[in-house]
Structures are given as C-alpha cells and as structure tokens.
C-alpha cells in the first residue's frame, strides 16, 4: 500500500521565548491537520519525536499530553526518541502502520526547546546521546566527534578549511529567504574562519545553533488522501537503520555506515539512484557533516564532497540542490523536530511552494542522523504534480 | 598501550563534568590489535594523524597518551 504525506505544518525555528513544548507542538500539529483537509477524528495515532524534553524542561509523557491538548482522545499517543533523528524515526514507524493497513491516519510531531539554557547545560544535554559509560567519560562531545571526522577527512582527502566553510556560506545564503529559518543573515568565508574555535578544527560558524521549534506531518493512505483532496506527496521510501553507536566502533570515521546503508536501501525501495534526486535536505549539524553525508548518500565520490561544496555544484539551480531550506546550519536544529522539519521543507518543494523553489523538483530526499550517526533515516519523497 | 593516532581535536567547550580540564586534547587511537580507543594526551597540541603514541599506564579508565620518540 502506498503511503502519502497529506499535510504538513511548522512553527518558525529559532528562539521562541515564553513558549512551552506543548504549545509549539500543538501549533505545528494544528497547521498540519488543517493542511491535510482530513478531520481530526480520523487520526488513530499520535507520535511525538523528542530528544531532550525531559532534561531541558522537565516535561515527559509528551504523547498523551499533546494529544489531549489537540482534543484527540482514544488514540495511541507516545513519544519516540532517537536523539536528533527522533521525529524522522517516528515518521518511519507511522509509515509502516499505514503501509500495513493497521492505521488510516497518523499524526507525527517533532518538537524541541533548547534555548535559554547555559552553554554547559546544553552541551551536557546533547551528550546524553553519547555512550556515557565509555566515550562520555573521556569527554567526547558532538562538536568533538565531528571535529575528529573533519580532521581525518582533511588528512585523507586534502579537504580544506575553506571548502568546509563554503557549506556554511551556502546554507546561510539559502536561510536569508526562508522565513522559518533561525539565521536569516549571510556570512562570509572570512567570518566563518575567524569565528571562535569550539573543538578544533570546528569553529562556531561551523556549528548549527540551539533552536526551539516544532514541525508536524499527517500520513495517510491513497484512498483517504484522494477522498479529502489532500495536497499529497508520496513516500517512495522510508528507511531507519542503526550505525556505529560509538566513535570507536567505526572502521573509518569518514564513512558513516548508517547513512550508506540507509541510502542504499532507500534507493532500492524507491527504484531510483542518487542521480535522480533533485533536492536533498541533509543533516548538516556541522558544516563538515554536509560534505561527509553528501558522499555517503552517493551524490559525490568519497573525497569529492569538499571540492563540490567549494565549487558550488550543489547550489540552487544546479542539477542537485542541497539544503535549500538553509539546513540545520541556518534554519536551525531543534533536535527532536529536525526530521519532520526536513520533510516539511521537501514537501513544500515538491508542491512548488518553497521560498527557495527548485524548478521542476520531482524527487526529494531527507537524511537525518541521531547520535554518532547511530540512528539514521533516509526518506525519498515523490511529487504527484 | 601503544597505537597510531587516527584523529584528534582540542575540546574548548566541554560538557559540565570536563569543564575544569578545558581546553584538552582528545585522541582517537588505533591499537596494535585493531581496537580503537579514545584517550587524552600529554601536551597542549595534538600529535599528527599517523603518529605513534603510548599510554603512560594501562590501569587508568581513560588512557593518557604520550607521543613516541622516533
């Protein structure tokens, strides 16, 4: 059975003071339900993707609480956690339920509140996705993980500091035109290279920001999408796999096995290859991540992601456009909401209604990673226009 | 404990439990048996990738490496 995204909704990503997790989740969810044209009474399941709501706000049991806030009763409502891939993992489970015919309509919400805490508190919360018994004890953080990937990528392939900075510059350019983006101001390569070091060789402008935000999806089958006239997009593939859960489990840290395997399986299910993809929203939590991910997804050969970024072969109006939303670097990274946020962006592209519209976009891909790329999703979405 | 440096970083923004140590060098080291470990380093700047390093003691939970002299 084919599965469709019938409706999407999103809050602005950024600093949302005086808002609760529940209120921003409800805002995105109501927008997605209205967008789908499907009556709320048809919803059978509510999945809430969230990473550190308990740590940052003290609030758990988000599934039932948010479902109640939406006026939904007698539904299955649970929180799904897979670190930064929480809401795309929830989308995968929703996809399976619809495809199997077990549910007709599933509401998937991603939500997070990360701003307002101290830098140490935020770093400590994020490192909850690092194995605390081993690598957390050594002091590994996520900037440090990606810094080690970057240093080795530079060593093995000659990737330069300037090539990596070009990713931030490109994604900030896209963010200028995306009203949902946290950063809507361009930066120069010199500003990236002069920003303060965080974990060498990663600097502040190589890092995505701490972000508040929520995004939501309504998934359904073909019959209901047609019946209610939903502006639907087909999910051609939805894959969730695990990768190495510790940096020391990697055979080679510049090759992220989870992404390689998820992409390979997604291309096979969808019957397409990387050369067929028009737009991709990649998990650029750090600028070098976009380079590594673009290689592991098959868009470029290993070692060619850096020159491709610097040569702007992935900017708008080229054959493949990467992160036209501005990516995590510019749109922001409300961890638990990011997966749904990426899908929201690709759906808007495939409907032809994106502020950074890619002409004739037919196939879009999202890639979302949790932890040390330990939980990875790849979705391939197809336009029905 | 001896091995080869696979990668390195200098952590300048640590989590709370390592705040007093920062900045500090973190190494990813491949040991002779192929196993990889994370370790700290004696020195403010990390050794080059490919360098040979030795841990001062194998009793510590987190090994502290020193660069081997050629």
Question: In this predicted complex, what is the ipTM?
Answer: 0.97
| Beta strand extents in chain A (DSSP E only) | 3-10, 45-49, 76-80, 105-112, 197-199, 202-203, 213-221, 233-242, 279-281, 321-322, 363-370, 375-382
Which CATH number describes the domain made up of B2-67?
2.40.50.840
* pTM beyond 0.90, yes or no: yes
DSSP lists the bridge partners of residue A4 as: A220, A234
SS3 A133: coil
How many H-runs (helices) and E-runs (strands) does chain A carry?
Answer: 15, 12
Q: Verify whether residue A379 is a known catalytic residue.
A: no
Q: Which helix (H) or strand (E) holds B30?
A: strand B24-31
Assess contact for A253 and B7: CB atoms under 8 A. yes
Q: What phi, psi does A223 have (nearest 5°)?
A: -60, -50
B18 interfaces chain A, CB cutoff of 8 Å? yes
The encoded tokens of residue A10 equal 């999103």
CA angle A177, A180, A185 (to 5 degrees): 45
B9 interfaces chain A, CB cutoff of 8 Å? yes
CA distances from A333 to A6, A18, A112, B37 (A): 24, 19, 9, 30
Domain ranges (residues) in chain B: 2-67
Choosing from A153, A256, A333, A367, the catalytic residue is A333
Assess contact for B32 and B17: CB atoms under 8 A. no
pLDDT of residue A317: 39
pLDDT of residue A316: 39
Q: Verify whether residue A84 is a known catalytic residue.
A: yes
Assess contact for A282 and A294: CB atoms under 8 A. yes
CA distances from A172 to A109, A147, A287, A336 (A): 26, 21, 11, 22
pLDDT of residue A314: 47
B39 interfaces chain A, CB cutoff of 8 Å? yes
Whether A144 and B18 lie within 8 Å, measured CB to CB: no
Residues of A in contact with B7 (CB under 8 A): 148-149, 151-152, 155, 253
Assess contact for A92 and A211: CB atoms under 8 A. no
Distance, CA of A192 to chain centre: 23
Min Cα distance A327 → chain B (Å) is 23
The encoded tokens of residue A151 equal 């240093």
Q: What is the mean pLDDT of each run of 10 residues along chain A (385 residues)?
A: 97 96 98 98 98 94 98 98 98 98 98 91 92 94 98 98 98 98 98 98 98 98 97 97 97 98 98 96 98 97 94 59 97 98 98 96 98 98 93
Give the mutation candidate from A125, A200, A203, A252 for the B interface (greatest B CB count, under 10 A): A200
Mean pLDDT computed over B29-52: 96
Nearest to A139 among B8, B18, B36 (CB): B18
Q: Rounded to an integer, what distance in angstroms lies between the CA atom of residue A324 and that of residue A143?
A: 23
């Amino acid at each position: 059975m084919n599965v469709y995204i019938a409706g999407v909704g999103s809050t602005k990503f950024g600093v949302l003071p005086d808002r609760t997790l529940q209120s921003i989740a409800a805002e995105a969810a109501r927008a997605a339900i209205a967008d789908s044209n499907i009556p709320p009474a048809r919803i059978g399941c509510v999945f809430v993707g969230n990473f550190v709501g308990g740590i940052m706000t003290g609030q758990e049991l988000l599934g039932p609480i948010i479902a109640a806030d939406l006026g939904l009763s007698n539904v299955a409502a649970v929180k799904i956690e897979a670190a930064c891939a929480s809401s795309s993992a929830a989308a995968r489970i929703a996809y399976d339920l619809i495809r199997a015919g077990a549910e007709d309509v599933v509401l998937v919400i991603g939500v997070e509140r990360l701003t307002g805490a101290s830098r140490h508190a935020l770093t400590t919360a994020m490192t909850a996705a690092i194995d605390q018994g081993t690598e957390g004890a050594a002091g590994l953080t996520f900037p440090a993980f990606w810094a080690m990937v970057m240093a080795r990528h530079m060593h093995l392939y000659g990737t330069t500091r300037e090539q990596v900075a070009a990713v931030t510059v490109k994604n900030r350019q896209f963010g200028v035109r995306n009203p949902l983006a946290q950063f809507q101001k361009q930066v120069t390569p010199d500003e990236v290279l002069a920003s303060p070091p965080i974990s060498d060789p990663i600097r502040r402008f190589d890092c995505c920001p701490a972000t508040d935000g929520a995004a939501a999806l309504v998934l359904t089958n073909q019959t209901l999408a047609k019946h209610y006239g939903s502006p639907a997009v087909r999910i051609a593939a939805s894959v969730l796999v695990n990768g190495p859960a510790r940096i020391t489990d990697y055979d080679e840290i510049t090759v992220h096995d989870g992404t390689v395997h998820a992409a390979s399986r997604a291309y096979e299910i969808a019957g397409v290859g990387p050369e067929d993809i028009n737009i991709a929203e990649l998990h650029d939590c750090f600028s070098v991540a976009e380079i590594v991910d673009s290689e592991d997804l098959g868009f470029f050969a290993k070692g060619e992601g850096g020159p491709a970024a610097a040569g702007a072969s992935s900017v708008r109006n080229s054959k493949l456009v990467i992160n036209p939303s501005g990516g995590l670097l510019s749109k922001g990274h409300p961890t638990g909401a990011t997966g749904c946020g990426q899908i929201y962006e690709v759906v808007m592209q495939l409907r032809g209604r994106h502020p950074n519209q890619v002409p004739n976009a037919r196939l879009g891909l999202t890639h979302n990673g949790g932890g040390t790329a330990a939980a990875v999703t790849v979705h391939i979405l197809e336009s029905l226009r | 404990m001896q091995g080869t440096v696979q990668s390195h970083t200098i952590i300048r923004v640590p989590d709370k439990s390592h705040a007093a140590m920062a900045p500090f060098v973190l190494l990813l080291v491949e040991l002779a048996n192929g196993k990889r470990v994370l370790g700290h380093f004696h020195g403010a700047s990390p050794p080059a990738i490919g360098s040979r390093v030795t841990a001062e003691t194998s009793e510590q939970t987190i090994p502290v490496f020193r660069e081997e002299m050629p």
